[in-house]
């Protein structure tokens, strides 16, 4: 009974431990140190978000609060706070309502240009042009009236590019860093030289060694700054593993009241507009959403969601990943706004339009009993992308509206990731075994008794085998002795008659019979009875031998 009680307790504890290990993963939310305004999880195993200062962070799962990494390179050319963030399996997308940073454009302005000039000494009539490595020399009469202003600009740091072209079309260019004229004592400038070190400056003599004529052009770079007027929605994207650089696209049209960005496998949606991935051409098209809707409010890889307020009640509609082909009402989500739909093939999270409470809704969403409240330990959320689910492993994250002791983020493994089939099967196996043990307690007792009996029998069998072995050895020893005795009797001198040998033969046969008789009876009778029977048989044999020998007959045994 004690053995059964211990077995019952072990099975019960094992069952309880198994079930608890499964349920402990989905019972409560664990704090995730850090603070983010919005948080999104990618099926690639990366979590992204941004905080109240606009700094973007990411971590690679499992996120424990110590592996958040601030994205060092923020999207260039954008000034302002991010509005929303979304991810897919390849990229992260950040939406801004921002004034674009000033753009700078540049162009070249040619301030001085000559025609083709014969190569020669610039001081010799009728004027020439010549080069050395790093410098070009030109007679003054070919430079026009603008040469003084160009020279003055060079002396003040203005950057000019000198371009030389010969009669064969060979060209060379370099940046002019200084200029000179002939010495003042020689009178007004009759030549100018322009010098530099970069580009082709140090190979001029080689390039133009066979040239007959050269032309010179001095150009300066013009930089023009422009500032975009007003604000415009812009999204920036980069690889979800934070490799590479940011690229950005402007979203056309007026800025909606609460702009969000949502991603499917096919499209990028901002409000009521969509752009086919990767949206490099900026070909945005209007979304034909349900009447009264302001556009896409949530999206998974293959579905889009829109809401329509009707009489104070929020009605939810779903469509394909391209938002084409019609919209289907989802009465199970009535009165709620989807806010985390990444794993919508099994479940999604929605926010009650009235109370703000969080609901977990299981597919199909046409079922009016689909949604049930979620205990978030008092944490509330503000809206889209403040709850997010990794659709691959169902790890779920919350960026709450209020802070706790370690920040405003929490995480848990959603119960959708638990396969209940093996839990139920294991539970059934445990309970069936326990029932079987209870119902067959008597049989178990008998079985234990039988096992004990079998063990004892095995011990007895081993002992019997040992006894047989010992008896066989004794039998062989006795047989050897009897043969020796018989040989001595037969060879004894003087020879005895057959009648005188008969008593000895009787005694010999009696001994042999007694040994066999003792061996057989030992398996069926107690040792005392066997010993008595053995002694009796020996006595009987001796008496019979004695009767054949007769009175006065001396039987001699030779040792």
What DSSP element (H or E) covers 539? helix 527-549
> How confident is the model at residue 469, as a pLDDT?
45
What is the DSSP code string of 97-135?
A: EEEEPPEEEEEEEEEEE---EEBS-TTSTT--EEEETTE
> How confident is the model at residue 78, as a pLDDT?
81
247 vs 518 pLDDT, higher one? 247
Helix (H, G, I), strand (E, B) or coil at 5: helix
The CATH fold assigned to 27-100+230-415 is Neuraminidase (2.120.10)
Least confident piece of the model among 46-50, 206-210, 434-438: 434-438
Is the pLDDT reported for residue 196 higher than 60? Answer: yes
- Mean pLDDT score of the chain: 79
Sheet holding 358-362, edge to edge: 336-340, 347-352, 358-362, 371-373
The percent of residues in the chain predicted with pLDDT above 90, rounded, is 44
Q: How confident is the model at residue 136 (pLDDT cuts 50, 70, 90)?
A: very high
* pLDDT one-digit tens code per residue, 303-362: 999 999 888 899 999 999 999 878 999 999 999 999 999 999 999 999 998 888 999 999
Least confident piece of the model among 161-165, 294-298, 395-399, 456-460: 456-460
CA end-to-end span of the chain: 65
Q: Which of 104-113, 408-417, 438-447, 522-531 has the highest mean pLDDT?
A: 408-417
Backbone angles phi, psi at 151, to 5 degrees: -60, -40
- What is the pTM (predicted TM-score) of this model? 0.52
Rg (CA), the chain: 54
Give me the mean pLDDT over the 244-253 stretch: 87
Give me the mean pLDDT over the 14-27 stretch: 50
Backbone angles phi, psi at 536, to 5 degrees: -60, -45
> How confident is the model at residue 494, as a pLDDT?
44
What is the domain partition of the chain in residue ranges? 27-100+230-415, 104-226, 445-549
Question: What is the total residue count of the chain?
Answer: 559
The percent of residues in the chain predicted with pLDDT above 70, rounded, is 72
> How confident is the model at residue 315, as a pLDDT?
93
Is the pLDDT reported for residue 165 higher than 70? Answer: yes
> How confident is the model at residue 254, as a pLDDT?
77
Give me the mean pLDDT over the 54-68 stretch: 93
* pLDDT one-digit tens code per residue, 490-528: 555 444 445 556 777 777 777 777 777 766 776 677 777
Q: How confident is the model at residue 375 (pLDDT cuts 50, 70, 90)?
A: confident
48 closest CA partner among 1, 4, 89: 89
């Amino acid at each position: 009974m004690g053995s059964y009680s211990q077995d019952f307790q072990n099975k019960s504890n094992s069952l309880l431990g198994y079930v608890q290990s499964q349920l402990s993963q989905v019972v409560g939310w664990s704090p995730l140190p850090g603070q983010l305004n919005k948080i999104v999880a990618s099926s690639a195993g990366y979590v992204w978000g941004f905080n109240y200062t606009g700094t973007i962070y990411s971590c690679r799962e499992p996120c424990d609060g110590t592996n958040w990494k601030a994205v060092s390179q923020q999207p260039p050319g954008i000034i302002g706070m991010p509005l929303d963030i979304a991810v897919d399996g390849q990229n992260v997308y950040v939406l801004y309502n921002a004034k674009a940073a000033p753009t700078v454009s540049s162009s070249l302005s040619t301030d001085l240009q000559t025609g083709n000039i014969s190569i020669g000494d610039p001081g010799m009539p009728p004027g020439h042009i010549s080069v050395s490595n790093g410098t070009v020399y030109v007679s003054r009469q070919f430079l026009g009236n603008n040469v003084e202003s160009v020279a003055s600009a060079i002396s003040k740091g203005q950057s000019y590019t000198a371009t030389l072209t010969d009669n064969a079309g060979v060209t060379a260019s370099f940046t002019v860093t200084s200029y000179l004229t002939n010495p003042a004592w020689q009178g007004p400038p009759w030549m100018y030289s322009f010098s530099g070190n970069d580009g082709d400056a140090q190979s001029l003599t080689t390039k133009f060694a066979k040239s007959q004529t050269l032309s010179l052009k001095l150009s300066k770079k013009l930089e023009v700054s422009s500032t975009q007027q007003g604000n415009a929605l812009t999204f920036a994207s980069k690889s979800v593993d934070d490799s590479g650089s940011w690229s950005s696209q402007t979203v056309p049209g007026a800025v909606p009241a609460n702009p969000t960005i949502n991603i499917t496998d096919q499209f990028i949606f901002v409000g009521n507009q969509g752009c086919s991935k990767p949206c490099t051409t900026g070909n945005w098209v209007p979304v034909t959403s349900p009447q009264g809707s302001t556009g896409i409010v949530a999206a998974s890889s293959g579905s889009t969601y829109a809401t329509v307020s009707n009489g104070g009640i929020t009605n939810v509609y779903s469509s394909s990943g391209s938002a084409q082909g019609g919209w289907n009402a989802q009465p199970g989500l009535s009165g709620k706004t989807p806010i985390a739909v990444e794993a919508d093939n099994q479940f999604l999270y929605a926010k009650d339009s009235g109370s703000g409470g969080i609901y977990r809704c299981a597919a199909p969403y046409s079922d009016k009993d689909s949604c049930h409240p979620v205990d978030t330990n008092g944490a509330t959320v503000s809206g889209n992308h403040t709850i997010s689910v990794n659709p691959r492993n169902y790890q779920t994250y919350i960026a709450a509206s209020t802070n706790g002791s370690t920040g405003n983020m929490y995480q848990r493994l959603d119960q959708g990731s638990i396969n209940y089939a093996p839990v139920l099967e294991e539970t059934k196996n445990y309970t069936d075994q326990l029932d079987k043990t209870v119902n067959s307690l008597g049989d178990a007792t008998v079985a234990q008794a039988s096992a004990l009996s079998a063990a004892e029998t095995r011990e007895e069998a081993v002992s019997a085998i040992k006894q047989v072995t010992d008896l066989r050895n004794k039998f062989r020893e006795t047989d050897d002795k009897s043969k020796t005795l018989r040989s001595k009797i037969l060879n004894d001198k003087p020879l005895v008659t057959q009648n005188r040998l008969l008593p000895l033969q009787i005694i010999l046969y009696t001994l042999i019979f007694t040994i066999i008789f003792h061996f057989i009876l030992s398996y069926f009778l107690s040792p005392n009875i066997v010993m008595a029977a053995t002694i009796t048989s020996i006595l009987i044999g001796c008496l019979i031998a004695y009767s054949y020998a007769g009175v006065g007959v001396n039987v001699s045994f030779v040792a």
